[in-house]
Amino acid sequence: MNLRIPGPTPCPDDVLEAMGHSMINHRGPEFKELSVKITERLKKIFETKNDLLILTTSGTGGLEAAVVNTLSPGDKVLVVSIGYFGDRFAECAQIYGAQVIKLDFPWGTAADPDQIRQALRNNPEIKAVLVTHNETSTGVTNDLEAISGVVKGEFDKLLLVDAVSSIGSIPLPVDEWRCDVVVTGSQKGWMTPPGLAFVSFSEQAWKAYSQSKIPRYYFDMKRAKNYYERGQTPWTPAVSVYYGLDVALDRILAEGMPNIFKRQARMGQMVRDGAKSLGLSIFPREEVASNTVTAVKIPQGVDAKQLLKLMDEQRGVVMAGGQQSLEGKIFRIGHMGYCEYDDIQQVLDGLKATLPKVGFQPSAVGR
């Protein structure tokens, strides 16, 4: 099977084999060594000197940790949303009692830093800005460097970043871009199964922590930090996923981050060019299109469900549909993490063979 959803992503055999390791005492020296080794390498990839803590949870748990450890009920926050996951981040902050000022951009476009500047000017009491770096639902990457230039450079607000489907695959130098909290999940660009979230936490985030009044228990970052210093986690960690991640990080650092970024960029271009050569259209404008997940418009008259079903059953290619208002309007091809050019070629060949069966003739270029 060619799993081309935008997470969970495929894992190399050695990662899966490593997960078969027998259980160890999660409060013993072996786990301590594993956890420190993993954390130090993650910090390298995050390009940060901030604390980085590993939580046993999915990406959403990491985002919830960002909210409950820095905010208080009644705090005004600006949530910049360009899609489904931006909306979720807003929902999470709202549920915990933050006063959410939502800055929505049409799905398929990127956030405009000028409008963020304006929103911050209009609402000087805003405490934090929550933003998605790579919006997996629409296949768009925000210009986080420019956003941070406004949020940190001009207003010095707390910046909480959903980097679930970006960091490790596309550039996000955490310290250089002054991101206070950055969250990702093991099942995205990390070639590792779901189960762990990685959360970096800056000095300013710790300052916010000391003032934050949202109740927290499982996701208490201070507790996680205190335990990490002893080589442990407060709660039983997903030990097997740690073993898999250990091997995946070896692979990632052996390839080298600059090479990964280049490969991801080439992969993104290959998907977009390939889809266009079949006569399909990319959902977002190319300048903002993501290099980890590509959203492709469903041609007029084509039944999205049928296309995905035939691709799966007849070609062994599993892709994702659209979420919420994009259901039936786009399909998405994930290409982060463990993805080879052949995997993408298989998707494109599959589309070429399958599209006529759902009523769309691929264009001459693609034939």
| Binding stretches for ligand PLP (CB under 6 A) | 7, 58-60, 85, 132, 136, 162, 164-165, 185
**For ligand PLP, the closer CB: 160 or 358:** 160
Phi-psi region of 270 (alpha: psi -120 to 50; beta: other; left: phi over 0): alpha
Distance CA 283, CA 107 (A): 9
**For ligand PLP, the closer CB: 168 or 362:** 168
Report, in Å, the least distance between residue 177 CB and ligand PLP: 17
What residues are paired with 197 via a beta bridge? Answer: 55, 185
**For ligand PLP, the closer CB: 19 or 130:** 130
170: nearest Cα among 132, 218, 221: 132
Contacts of 340 (CB under 8 A, 6+ apart): none
**For ligand PLP, the closer CB: 75 or 87:** 87
**For ligand PLP, the closer CB: 182 or 278:** 182
Report, in Å, the least distance between residue 156 CB and ligand PLP: 25
Contacts of 245 (CB under 8 A, 6+ apart): 15, 38, 186, 190, 192, 196
Report, in Å, the least distance between residue 7 CB and ligand PLP: 5
Report, in Å, the least distance between residue 316 CB and ligand PLP: 22
Q: Which two tokens stand for residue 176?
A: 């250089």
**For ligand PLP, the closer CB: 7 or 234:** 7
Residue nearest to ligand PLP as judged by C-beta position: 59
Compute CA distances 344 → 224, 248, 299, 328, 362, whole Å.
39, 21, 20, 22, 17
Compute CA distances 124 → 98, 164, 208, whole Å.
15, 29, 17
Report, in Å, the least distance between residue 59 CB and ligand PLP: 3
Report, in Å, the least distance between residue 366 CB and ligand PLP: 29
Report, in Å, the least distance between residue 179 CB and ligand PLP: 15
Residue 167 exposed, middle or buried by CB count within 10 Å (0-12, 13-18, 19+): buried
**For ligand PLP, the closer CB: 7 or 284:** 7
The C-alpha angle with vertex 92 and arms to 206 and 178, in degrees rounded to 5, equals 40
Residues 113-123, buried b or exposed e (16+ Cβ, 10 A)? beebbebbeee
